[in-house]
Amino acid sequence: MYNIKISNNFTLQEFACKDGSHQVTLHHQLLAKLQHLRDLAGKPVIITSGYRNPSYNKNVGGRPTSRHLTGEASDIQISGMHPDEVAHLAKQVGFTGIGIYKSFIHVDIRPIPTTWKG
Ligand SMILES: [Zn+2]
């Protein structure tokens, strides 16, 4: 069950909290956009942080209102692509929250579009 395929290229466990608890919440719109991004890139999208439970979110310095807590955000990398390029694709597929960091980008589905550099 846990390793269940939830779209063409993603399994549920990829979005689970990285604290080993196996807890996971995932918004269907986030998944749909990530699959679209994967299709556009033609390369695997690596989820470096998906769902976070409140204690794990605190441990990694996440904001108390982080969309990782509700399954509406992921931090991602695409091998061989600069975060700026990944952000460009993320905008194309309709992600509304896009944070660009050194080695990854944050994407989410917030109501009001925002882009930032971390
Ligand atoms: Zn994030």
| Interval 94-103: pLDDT, tens | 999 999 999 9
Give distance in angstroms: CA of 31 to centre of ligand 1: 15
- Supply the pTM of this predicted model: 0.96
Give distance in angstroms: CA of 101 to centre of ligand 1: 10
Give distance in angstroms: CA of 50 to centre of ligand 1: 8
Phi/psi-derived region of residue 54, left when phi > 0, alpha when psi is between -120 and 50, beta in every other case: alpha
Q: Point out the residues of the chain with pLDDT beneath 50.
A: none
Q: Which domains does the chain have, with CATH numbers?
A: 12-117 (3.30.1380.10)
Give distance in angstroms: CA of 107 to centre of ligand 1: 7
Give distance in angstroms: CA of 74 to centre of ligand 1: 5
Provide the β-strand partners of residue 100. Answer: 105, 117
Q: For the chain, list the strands marked E by DSSP.
A: 45-49, 73-78, 97-100, 105-108, 114-117
The confidence score (pLDDT) of residue 116 equals: 97
Give distance in angstroms: CA of 54 to centre of ligand 1: 14
> Is residue 32 helix, strand or coil?
helix
The confidence score (pLDDT) of residue 3 equals: 84
The confidence score (pLDDT) of residue 1 equals: 61
Q: State the Cα–Cα distance between residues 14 and 51, nearest whole angstrom.
A: 9
